[in-house]
Amino acid sequence: MGHVISTVQSVPYYAQWASAHLVEGMVTGRIPASEDPAWADYGATTTTNHLNFAAARYKT
């Protein structure tokens, strides 16, 4: 087997969560997704639209 070469590269990361500080609470169900104050920042036009999109990612 040949030599293994490791490299570290910076990879841009964009979270799917509008309010990063609320993620744990939303994932664990302590905070309803409807209480995310930044829901409109992700392109939703209404909270219902946001919840339909977000339902697959966290508890509502």
Tell whether pTM > 0.85.
Answer: no
Total domains in the chain come to 1
The domain of 47 spans 1-60
Residue by residue, DSSP assigns the chain as: ---------------S-S-GGGHHHHHHTSS-GGG-TTGGGGT-SSHHHHHHHHTTTS--
pLDDT tens-digit readout, 15-56: 567 888 888 888 888 988 888 888 888 788 888 887 777 665
Which pLDDT belongs to residue 50?
78
